[in-house]
Amino acid sequence: MFDPTTYASRALTVAAELVADDEAVAELRGRLQVIHDDLLGDNAGKPRPALDAASGRPVVNTIFRPAQLPDTHFTRLVIVDDPRGPADDKLPLVLVWESNHDGAPADYLRQVLARATSGEPGVHLDFDAIFGACVGYPSMARGDEWVAWMLAHALRAEAFYSGYRGVPKRRVDAAGRVHAAIRRFLDEHRADLAGQDPVAVHRRIRDHLRAGPPGLEPGDLEPAVERGAGFWLRKWATLVLLGVAALLLLTFLLPFTLAWYVTLRRHERRDKPDRAVRAVHGLPDLIAVEDRIVQNQLTHLVDLKPGVFRYVTQRVVLFAIDQLARVIFVHGELGGITSIHFARWVILHDRRDVPAHRRRHRLLFFSNYDFSWDSYLGEFVDRAARGLTAVWSNTEGYPRTENLVNQGATDEETFKQWARDRQLASQVWWSGVRYSTVENVNNDVAIVRGLGRDLDDEDAPGWLVRL
């Protein structure tokens, strides 16, 4: 059913340069706006199609309906521009498609292609209308060539985190249906069940679900794949390798480590951090699209500080976070933050034919999180300031740091303003779990797991309190 090698949630980031043609880009922006308006209605809980300027009639989104993507948790489309780049050194526009999906990217893209070109009535996944403005794009009609092109433009996630890694979208949806069916059953039979023994209540619920009540689909009661021996092996191998690396850096490689440290301190003294002169101000058009549903999104773009030193440090820090996200932060929290569904860092490399010191590599961050921008950034400061400082202290304008991980994000207002100032508008953003927080999803999954066996006196009350 779900082969452990393929079920893991993956981070696909397709980034392709747009043609240098203002008209084509304007047309693309118009299309993304149509999709955005369609989804905004979706996100606000009530439809609100945009009106066509000429006819005054609603514009219908026949371009891209993310809900029709197979096995997709969250997705977005962003035109990455270069708003803070120097006027005489602007980088070309890049269109980025972010998808948080299940299975290997090649399989996923083939499924997307199959669905899009199936000719099923009502299916609108017209990637040609979106990526058509990218340099060298082959249309979907080219089949395998399309998949190959997408893969060739996919950026590696330097670090990727999921609040429920390894739980496929289908299992997320199924667990939600199971929990809802249990609630309906309990609400109807509360007076009868409330006085009973927890073990008996658990059995009654199981019997009810096995009888196939309305609202459940076949296979919904299958639990999500448990982490098997492969996971534990990887976990211990990772920890041992990280430990050995740390040991080496502190013994045989100590001179190297010290040299790195001295360089770091010199950089930290010389760096020019942003200065916030007032309480945090967000761009009104960013704020205008926020707080429509229980989740929000962040697209954040910042130049790496120039030079090899910061570049290498950045890669190492992200590598370490990525490894920890695979084996340690797999229980719905990342360094104490429980509100992140999916987040990733990718590097947009500057491959222009210019001298190395003039290359502008950029760090791109995507996050899909619960609750408001302010609460999310607040969690960064409250609970994970060091980890985030380790990442972003290698980028331009970051608040003053000390020893890579200290200070930085703890300067709350300066940090938040730095983040707001480098936030990009996400032209299209879609959530596949509009009503569920990370805690909800993990709780639902645990409920289904508890249905697979008889519970004893000890386990039953703990399971019931989840309902």
Partner 1 sequence: MLAADPDPAAVPDTLAGADLSQIQTLVFRGGARDFPWSSFLFVSLPSEVAAARAWLREVAAQLAWHGRPRPTLRVEGGELVGRVQLALTTRGLRRLGLDRAVIGRFPFEAKAGMERRARVLGDPVDDPHAGDPLETLEQFEANKPLPTDWAGTGGVDLRSCDAVLPLFATSAPDRHALDLAQRDRLRRAGGTTLTSEYSAEWKEREPFGFADGLSQPAVRGQPTRATPSPENELAAGEILLGYRNEYHQVPKSPRFDLDHPTHGGFDVGKDGTFLVFRKLEQDVLAFWRTFAALGQRFAGQAVGDGYTVPADPFAATHWLAARAMGRWTNGNSTLTHPHAAGDRLPPTTINDFVYGADPHGLACPIGSHVRRANPRDQRGGPTDESWKVVKRHRILRRGRAYGHLHDADTLIRLLLAGEPVEERPASGLLFVCLQSNITRGFEFVQQIWNNNPGFHGVYQEADAIAGPGGCRYSIPARTVRLRLDNPFPDPAEPDEDRRLGLPRFVVPRGGGYFFVPSRATVELLTAAA
Nearer to partner 1, 16 or 388 (CB): 388
CB of 386 to partner 1, least distance (A): 14
Residues 420-459 touching partner 1, rule: CB under 8 A, are 435-437, 439-440, 443
Among 275, 331, 352, 358, binds partner 1 (CB under 8 A): 275
Nearer to partner 1, 142 or 466 (CB): 466
Nearer to partner 1, 112 or 182 (CB): 182
Sign for the CA dihedral angle at 58, 62, 65, 68 comes to positive
Tokens of 431: 């959530």
Q: Per-residue x/- marks for partner 1, 190-209, CB under 8 A?
A: xx-xxxx-x--x--------
Among 87, 211, 279, 308, binds partner 1 (CB under 8 A): 279
211 binds partner 1 (CB under 8 A): no
Q: Cα(463)–Cα(167) distance, rounded to whole angstroms?
A: 19
Among 132, 138, 282, 306, binds partner 1 (CB under 8 A): 282
Nearer to partner 1, 352 or 434 (CB): 434
100 binds partner 1 (CB under 8 A): no
Tokens of 148: 């190959």
- Count of Cβ atoms closer than 10 Å to residue 258 Cβ: 11
Close Cβ partners of 372 (under 8 Å, ≥ 6 residues apart): 290, 291, 296
CB of 395 to partner 1, least distance (A): 21
186 binds partner 1 (CB under 8 A): yes
Sheet strands side by side (includes 423-424): 157-162, 340-348, 362-370, 295-303, 423-424
CB of 202 to partner 1, least distance (A): 10
**E strands in 31-189:** 72-80, 94-102, 157-162
| DSSP result, 238-296 | HHHHHHHHHHHHHTTTHHHHHHHHHHHHHHHHH-------SS----HHHHTT-SSSSEE
Binding residues vs partner 1 (CB under 8 A): 40, 44, 46, 48, 179, 183, 186-187, 190-191, 193-196, 198, 201, 275-285, 287-288, 291-292, 294, 336, 338, 370-372, 374-375, 378, 381-383, 410-413, 435-437, 439-440, 443, 461, 464-465, 467
